[in-house]
Amino acid sequence: MSHWQELEQQYFMRTVVRLPVTLVRGSGARVWDEDGREYLDFVAGWGVNSLGHCHPAVAEAVTEQVHTLIQTSNQFFTIPQVQLAELLVQNSCLDKVFFCNSGAEANEGAVKLARRYGKHYRNGAYEVITAVDSFHGRTLGMVAATGQKKFQEPYVPLPSGFVNVEYNSIESIKTATTAQTCAVMLEPVQGEGGVNLPGDNYLVEVRVWCDQMGILLILDEIQTGIGRMGTLFAYEQYGVEPDIMTLAKGLASGMPIGALLAKDGASVFTPGEHGSTFGGNPVTCAAGYATLKFVIDNDIAGNARRAGEYLIAGLENLRHKYEVVTEVRGRGLLTVMEFSEDTAQATVTACLERGLLVNRVKPNALRFMPPLTIGNQEVDEALGILDEALSSIAD
Ligand SMILES: Cc1ncc(COP(=O)(O)O)c(C=O)c1O
């Protein structure tokens, strides 16, 4: 254990089991540890470094902004947040934006907005229907929204107002809808739940049901948004438009940001009803603007789609080679490889030893979410290492 790792053991709360690597530098799709070892990064800050590590466009925007204006109160107008809001609205189906600092905070804002909507238009309806195996964040409210017992049980009793129903079942949403329901909140593709894709018509059916019942559809695009799925937003691929959408992760390519977007009809906050000290911070918004502009101007979503198809084809080859691999699925650069046994952790370790960072999303599944700028050569390199790792485990 290195000096820094020993200090971490001494000073940190045990909320995470870290891999035995201290990262000190990153560039593009690569990172280096304190001993100078290089790794190809298919975790990318947990689906965050959309343009890779320290992309010049982002680094320059941040550098310029920290020398200009770092933070003001939201009582005042500032330029980077307006620029980013305009770019988001011009490139999505939503009309209004609120900035915050993380995904969980964006989702909290979405639920508060839906409750305000319920008060205005649905006789005080406040309940939000969410899906089993979803993930919406770590605040108490979002733990209640997240349909996974392992995140909920340590903290019961949880805030009320959330109903977790079976994913991919329109019938279970219909059954759960009552006079108290103000919204349905879903990830277009469940990321943390194991890259679970929606059935062909699921999201369209949910949209139709929400319209019929006069309730809101909230899409949590925190993991799927900003090009990761091969389009700027995942909803574009499923023929639906949300009333409310949340973003975070890839929006600023590594700087901490969250965003809550709404259509005009759902944008019902009035002054003082919601807020955030750091939300809309000039530096993070400058990073967000630089990221989004680069993603749009350079068709980074198109690259994610092509590189994703190439990656899936390579993973399929490995599925044919190794009996333990049962399924490969995903879209764009959000991809999973599933095993018949709980060998994901051993595979992560074997990859790490060979210079590749991958994520164990479930005991029996590996997730790949590299930077969206990745090329086929890097995909080939990752596949080669994964092949060796799988072969070492099979031995
Ligand atoms: C779909 C989704 N929603 C919300 C979150 C929570 O985001 P954060 O960790 O920034 O609070 C995550 C994080 O993984 C996520 O994948």
User: pLDDT, tens digit, for every residue of 69-102?
Assistant: 999 999 999 999 999 999 999 999 999 999 999 9
Catalytic residue among 135, 151, 162, 339: 135
The count of residues in the chain is 395
Which residues, including other chains, have CB under 8 Å from residue 112's CB and lie 6 or more apart? 269, 273, 274
Q: What is the pTM of this model?
A: 0.98
Instruction: Work out the pLDDT band at 394, boundaries 50, 70, 90.
Output: confident
Q: Is the CB of 223 under 6 A from ligand 1?
A: yes
Residues of the chain with pLDDT > 70, as a percent, come to 100
User: pLDDT, tens digit, for every residue of 324-335?
Assistant: 999 999 999 999
pLDDT at 349: 98
Catalytic residue among 233, 249, 269, 294: 249
Distance 306 CA to ligand 1 centre (A): 25
* Cβ–Cβ under 8 Å, residues 132 and 167: yes
pLDDT at 6: 96
Catalytic residue among 151, 220, 269, 339: 220
Helices and strands (H, E) in the chain, number of each type: 13, 15
Q: Is the CB of 338 under 6 A from ligand 1?
A: no
- Across the chain, what does the average pLDDT equal? 98
Q: Is the CB of 45 under 6 A from ligand 1?
A: no
Round to whole Å and give the CA distance between 320 and 335.
Answer: 17
Which residue, 47, 42, 21, is CA-closest to 382? Answer: 42
Q: Is the CB of 360 under 6 A from ligand 1?
A: no
Instruction: Work out the pLDDT band at 395, boundaries 50, 70, 90.
Output: confident
Torsion sign over Cα 86, 87, 90, 94: negative
User: pLDDT, tens digit, for every residue of 13-67?
Assistant: 999 999 999 999 999 999 999 999 999 999 999 999 999 999 999 999 999 999 9
Phi and psi (nearest 5°) for 164?
A: -95, 120
